[in-house]
Amino acid sequence: MMDKEIITAAALGIGLSASTGFRVFVPLLIAGIAARFGILPMNESFAWLSSDAALGSLGVATIVEIAAYYIPFVDNLLDHLSMPLSIGAGALISASVLPIDSEMAKWLSSFILGGGSAALVQGATAALRLGSSGTTGGAANFLLASGENIAAIVTPILSIILPIVMALLILLSFWIALRMIIRRKKA
């Protein structure tokens, strides 16, 4: 039973943390709401994520973050600020669901799984936005922002409902992207 619990929790951590690469605060807000309603089991020390203060703060931060990504060139600046924040949020949200008793092992695993997943997604979205800014002068960035906002909402919800399926889809996406990069460098 423990193996299935750890695999499911790791999959959930990957899905939730990868979504912080799209937006830092949206997945944390969704996870907090899900925990509040008993849908998402969190480790006891992370109960604060579902508190009134946390949900209120995350709600305001979510609105500001989503709105700011619709302002050309501010979105590029946010990408630079969001990378470390995404890694931190990815590690935090991953640690909140991993059932590991050792704090050191939990945080190390969370940093690798969660922070790594968030960094890969954030890096990819930042590169896309930079390319869009360079080719369209930022005029098409609102399309990227809209897609990222949708992904930041849908990914954590689906990760909570179908954690293993979402983790496999995310890992498959990483693998496909890596193959494309390698193929492009060889050409």
Q: What is the mean pLDDT of residues 85-100?
A: 96
| Residue 184: burial class (beta carbons within 10 Å; 0-12, 13-18, 19+) | exposed
Give the whole-angstrom CA distance, residue 7 versus residue 62. 29
Q: Per-residue pLDDT tens for 9-45?
A: 999 999 999 999 999 999 999 999 999 999 999 999 9
Based on the structure, what is the number of domains in the chain? 1
- Of 12, 7, 165, 34, the C-alpha closest to 90 is 12
Task: Give the Å distances, CA to CA, from 126 to 45, 142, 150.
Answer: 32, 13, 16
Q: What is the mean pLDDT of residues 176-183?
A: 89
**Average pLDDT value for the chain:** 94
pLDDT score at 4: 86
Q: Per-residue pLDDT tens for 96-132?
A: 999 999 999 999 999 999 999 999 999 999 989 888 8
Domain assignment of residue 38, given as a range:
2-186
pLDDT score at 48: 97
Q: What is the mean pLDDT of residues 167-178?
A: 92
pLDDT score at 2: 60
Task: Give the Å distances, CA to CA, from 105 to 38, 101, 167, 168, 186.
Answer: 26, 8, 21, 23, 38
